[in-house]
Chains A and B, each alone.
Chain A
Amino acid sequence: MEFFELGKISLLIGFGLIVLGFWGILSQKNIIKIILSFTIMETGVNILIVSLGYVKGKTAPIIDSAVEQGANHSVLGQVVDPVPQALVLTAIVIGFGTTALLLAYAMKLFKAKRTLQINNFNDLKW
């Protein structure tokens, strides 16, 4: 099995982004940067999803000419798994929603205290 296989690389990239995102969330003090870190993590997860559905040498699960050509036996034999692709769309939408809401929060937080340092929002504790 060759090492630089596309599926594996993307898998690794996905994991890498997730770890990077986590690191960002935990280390960055600026709220915007935390949100960005979160989106990086999201992207990592999404890449993960797609790469798990990837089958080497298969084409996109869209019935077009590329599929028709090889469809001597069955359509399913020719395409990568369509489900992860559908899932990733949903995940992206949700990620979008979350990010938007987080940004809205960032706005309101900034309005409240004129700062974006997360350390300044410790009102409720203990």
Chain B
Amino acid sequence: MVDPIYIIAAALGVGFAIGILGNIGRNFAGGLTLATIAFMSFVSAQWFAGFYFGNVSSSYIFTAGFQPPLSINLLMGAEEAFLTFIVNLLGLLGGIYLFVNFKRKGRNAFVIYLVLLMGFNVVIMTRDIFNLFVFLEITSIATAGLILIEKGNRAVGAGFKYLLATSIISSMLLIGIIFAYFYTGTLNIDMIIESNLRYMVGGPIIIFLILISAILELKPFPANGWGLDVYEGAHQGFSAIVSAGTATASLYMLYKLLPIASPEWSYYIALLGAVTFIGANLLGVKQRFARRVLAYSSVGQLGLLMLILGLRGFLGPNVNYVFFGILITNILAKTGFFWLVGIVKANEIKEWAIIRRKPFLLFLMGVFIFALVGFPPFPSFFSKWTFVMDLANHGLFGWISVIIIGSFLEAVYLMRWFGYAVKSEDDYKFDFKIQIHKITPIIILTALLFVIGYFTAQFTETGAMINFIPLLFVAVLYFADALPIWVKNTIAILGMGIYFYFTYPQLDNLRLIFEVIFIIGGILTLIAGYNYKGKRQGFYPVALLMFAGLAAIIEAQTTLEFFYGWELMTAGSYFLIIRGKKSMPHALSYMLFSLGGAYALLMAFSIANIGVVFPSLDILNNIANYPVWAYGLLLAGFLTKTASVGLHIWLPGAHGEAESDVSPMVSAILLKAGVFGVLLTLIGMGQSTYDLGTLAYILGWVGAITVFVGNLGAVFQEDAKRLLAYSSIGQLGYIVFAFAIMTHLGWLTGFTYTINHFMYKAVLFLTIGAVVLRVGTHNMYEMGGLIKRMPLAFIAVLIGIIALSGVPPLSGFTGKWLFYNAVIEKGWYFQGVLVFFSGGLAFLYLYRLIQTVFLGQLKDNLRNVKEISFWFLIPIYVLIIGLMVFAAMPQLVLQPLGTLIANYFPNNQLVWEGSYAYTAIGHWTGTGVMISIMVMFLGTLLLVKLSTRKAHKLKQFDIVFSGERPHRPETTHVAHNMYAGFYKAVWPFTLPAVETFWNWISDFIHETAGFVRRIYSGNGQAYMLHIVLFIIIMFFITIGGTI
């Protein structure tokens, strides 16, 4: 092992040497600097490796050959090794990134940079409090120095404020230090800790001075304007280092100093962390400039880390796992992001559309944003999970709420930014270049994020159970993105097929149903992808990401695995949705609702996890602590995915604007993930020893109202895909309602609807999507008469709408019949009637769909459109066969389902006698009805055929309308505002109350942020005043009362 003192020695030596050597070449100076940093990294890496493999132990390094208190000593422990390694590695990468920039400024820049890194190292390692002060000052001076020699005046003001602020803070620290020395007679931190300073008269004030300085270094909200400005103003390569290095060093400084103080300080720090985390992220919501967004995000993350530090007492052995997981994610992602900003050079986040010119950079940006927001497989996902679980174990739900609110606010602006990058108009004149020395460090950081994420997962028992193979498959597809579409499509289909083949034997029947919907349904919709030409870049990785998530949900044995799958699925579907042409705002609202839902799930899982040793998914059964909250949160979380009323506003846009084969994926397949979750919750509720009837009752009403809102909304749509999207809302309402009934028949109904909706919604969305591809518009009133051009599509839609409407003999009626029986048996009459009434509304929109698209008058510009693509017809007709079989022989599916449900609800089953089904009150035979109707229909057809002569075929306008033969399809096709009369009757129910509510919430957040952020007036003195006021207020909060 190389002695860590050489880190300092090397840095100092080389720093001086470059200074002394005078006019050496700048390249040489830079090379020497990088070599030194590499050496420093090597030393700390060596130690870190030693600690990782457990063959070294913490060791003190005594300088000047004396023991403390007579000398300064350093400590190289596991934490120090890790942190110095990270800082040095970042320093090395940053050095590479900044090499050209520094070279332009001269060799002094290299020296200052080296000194800065050395400062970080010493601040992390030192155990001497005065030494700490000195090197803190050195880092401040070095930081300010590097900003000063930057070209241009943009950052100068910021640097000045920064230097002034840190100097004042250090002065406070110095006063504290000298008094601490005066009281304890030592400067060694360990000895100060032992000396019980806090029990001495006036000791608390000294501790206050020391800690408040350490806290102020962490830029607590709102006394942090000086820090924000530097992040925003300085060179991006350098902001990254300041953000990552200073954050790391200052956090560790606070960590070291905390034992001096009484335990209440942990609480104050947690509180400050909470305020900072929420405050910074709140203000971030209002930001327009890329750099400033990152600044707020950095400060917010510091707040979160402070929060963890403050609450470390509750984390037990997991404290390092949580702390370092979040720290490392933040460091890697934030640094990478700052550097990315340096490459792209778009100032406003709206201008980030230009990043699309280099898709790889967009990928990097996505990685950083999803890492920061805390998606898997990045380390922060696992750390946050553990953090929340541990907090819940101690009943600290208030703190969990803080984490959730802050994370959510952060997601708001990061996701919005990402949306701009992916989708906003790119008509900017300026361009950017990728330089190899700038991109390489970023790539290394990205790779590290994945690798560390993987190892973070392996670190815990449950994390190690996660199956990463699907994710690896996604990665393969990403790297194969340059291949032609049919190759990728085949790979994807094969991959999913193989996955299904190997996993389905291990699944119980419940999961098998959903696996079939997810994977087989996925394969079917992927087949339609053969229709596309070219490369379709980016589609396959994200589609498969979604399916990987869905597969993980099915496979999940533990709550962590489930949540992992849930988040992957959310990410994948978000990318899929945002691919649509006008999808930017809808994808954002999808993401935000999904995240809100995911956080509700997280909270619920954490409640269920209380006192649990191994968090298998079974802990959701009979949750003992706060069962109403736990199940309520679970349901709320899952209902965001099923788009139940109140949480549904994302769906119409998201599904309506998605690509033709994506709509069925996200509608027919993805929504079932929410259903699966609701089902799991209800299974758990069913086994609860508490009376949760009220919750199920509320869920029932939510479902019923959702049906009404969705179906009524669909009636008045002009856009075919939005109509189907609203219809999905309604259909999912049926499913939720049926499952909420919580009886055998209710669940049977729910499953029937689940299977049915999967099939007919896939048929309808695929067909309409294919039609849209042909005609080039979503607006139904621009279509019409397409039955002549695409008869096969017409038949598909016809069967789809008959099935959906529930008219016998198709399978929709199976659901309706079960529904009546279940509702009457349960006694939910009013909800039931609301649902049945909404079923009547379904006719209105279904008729509109088929009439205005396929019937009526063919438009001139569509006279030559062709039948929909063959590749769409394959899955459509496969699904139609499925629908028909289910309709003719429902017992094939319903009988095994009944056996499955009997595990949960053994009473009042559906009785089968051959093809005849009986409940306590009703009876019906699917097969018989199908035969009867077929015979009647064909008989009538035959009769009519025999009694008519050969019919003369009419041309399009061979009708008489208003006393003349029309000649324009536009004036003859009844389509636009089709239900005007009905609208006059029901318009009060169509008012967008929910949208208004959420808009109000959104405006409220934005206005609050806009108001609060005015404290950052830009005036340096105001910032100093913030610091002083902060100190005074904190003084009164911490020890004011005791004097």
Contact = CB atoms under 8 A, between A and B. Distances in A.
**A contacts B directly in the complex (CB < 8 Å)?**
yes
Contacts of A83: 181, 187
B1013 A121 contact: no
A63 interface: no
Given A104-B148, A112-B153, A52 B1019 contact: no
B361 interface: no
A13 interface: no
Nearest to A120: B157
A119 B148 contact: no
Given A94-B134, A102-B163, A105-B159, A126 B1016 contact: yes
Nearest to B155: A124
A87 to B, nearest CB: 6
Given A52-B179, A94-B137, A105-B148, A25 B159 contact: no
A122 B232 CA distance: 13
A39 to B, nearest CB: 10
B171 A26 contact: no
Contacts of A42: 171
Interface in B1014-1043: 1014, 1016-1021, 1024-1025, 1028
A109 B1019 CA distance: 14
Contact of B167 (A38, A121, A122): A38
A104 B163 CA distance: 11
Q: Give the residue among A22, A83, A84, A105 with the most B Cβ atoms within 10 A.
A: A105
A125 B167 CA distance: 21
Contacts, number: 119
A85 to B, nearest CB: 11
A114 B167 CA distance: 25
B182 A52 contact: yes
Interface string A1-44: 00000000000000000100010011001010010001001100
Contacts of A94: 134, 137-138, 141, 170
Given A105-B160, A121-B1020, A126-B1013, A90 B130 contact: yes
Contact of B148 (A48, A108, A118, A124): A108
Contact of A119 (B167, B179, B1016, B1019): B1019
A41 B1024 CA distance: 14
Interface magnitude class on chain B:
35 or more
B1014 A126 contact: yes
A20 to B, nearest CB: 13
A82 to B, nearest CB: 11
B154 interface: yes
B799 interface: no
B550 interface: no
Contacts of A38: 164, 167-168
A49 B178 CA distance: 6
Contact of A101 (B141, B158, B1028): B141
B157 A124 contact: yes
B233 interface: yes
Contacts of A98: 137, 140-141, 163, 167
Contacts of B1025: 26
A88 B228 CA distance: 32
A60 interface: no
A113 B160 CA distance: 14
Interface in A32-86: 34, 38, 41-42, 45, 48-49, 52-53, 83-84
Contacts of A125: 225, 229, 1016-1018
A65 B303 CA distance: 56
B171 A45 contact: yes
A126 B156 CA distance: 17
B144 interface: yes
Nearest to A41: B171
A29 B1021 CA distance: 8
B438 to A, nearest CB: 24
A106 B187 CA distance: 35
Contacts of B154: 123-124
B61 interface: no
A112 B156 CA distance: 9
A66 to B, nearest CB: 24
B145 interface: yes
Contact of B175 (A48, A97, A105): A48
A108 B149 CA distance: 10
Interface string B165-200: 001101100110011011000010000000000000
Nearest to B162: A105
Contacts of A113: 153
A87 B130 contact: yes
Contacts of A104: 148
Given A87-B130, A126-B1014, A121 B178 contact: no
B141 A121 contact: no
Nearest to B182: A52
A26 B158 CA distance: 17
A36 B170 CA distance: 17
A124 B178 CA distance: 36
Given A119-B1019, A123-B1018, A124-B1018, A90 B164 contact: no
B1024 A105 contact: no
A122 B1019 contact: yes
A105 B163 contact: yes
Interface in B974-1028: 1013-1014, 1016-1021, 1024-1025, 1028
Contacts of A90: 130, 134
A107 to B, nearest CB: 10
Contact of A45 (B140, B174, B286, B1020): B174
A102 B625 CA distance: 58
A90 B233 CA distance: 31
Q: Give the residue among B140, B163, B1013 with the most A Cβ atoms within 10 A.
A: B163
A84 B171 contact: no
Contact of B145 (A29, A101, A109): A101
A97 B141 contact: yes
Nearest to A126: B1013
Q: Give the residue among B134, B144, B164, B178 with the most A Cβ atoms within 10 A.
A: B178
Contacts of A34: 164, 1020-1021
A52 B156 contact: no
A87 B170 CA distance: 14
B1017 A121 contact: no
Contacts of A119: 1019
Given A112-B153, A123-B157, A101 B1019 contact: no
Interface string B555-580: 00000000000000000000000000
A102 B153 CA distance: 15
Contacts of A121: 156-157, 160, 1018, 1020
A87 B1019 contact: no
Contacts of A45: 171, 174-175
B155 to A, nearest CB: 8
Contacts of A87: 130, 178, 181
Contacts of A118: 1019-1021
Given A45-B171, A84-B181, A126-B1016, A105 B144 contact: yes
A123 B141 CA distance: 22
25 contacts: A18-B171, A45-B171, A48-B175, A49-B174, A52-B179, A52-B181, A83-B181, A87-B178, A94-B137, A97-B137, A98-B141, A101-B144, A102-B163, A102-B167, A105-B159, A105-B160, A108-B148, A112-B156, A118-B1020, A119-B1019, A121-B1018, A121-B1020, A122-B1018, A122-B1019, A124-B154
| 10 interchain residue pairs of minimum CB distance | A125-B1018, A122-B1018, A121-B157, A112-B153, A105-B160, A124-B229, A52-B182, A94-B137, A49-B178, A126-B1013
Given A42-B171, A45-B174, A126-B286, 13 more contacts: A25-B164, A26-B1024, A41-B168, A84-B178, A90-B134, A94-B138, A104-B148, A105-B148, A105-B156, A106-B160, A121-B1018, A124-B154, A125-B225
Interface of B: 130, 134, 137-138, 140-141, 144-145, 148, 153-154, 156-160, 163-164, 167-168, 170-171, 174-175, 178-179, 181-182, 187, 225, 228-229, 232-233, 286, 292, 1013-1014, 1016-1021, 1024-1025, 1028
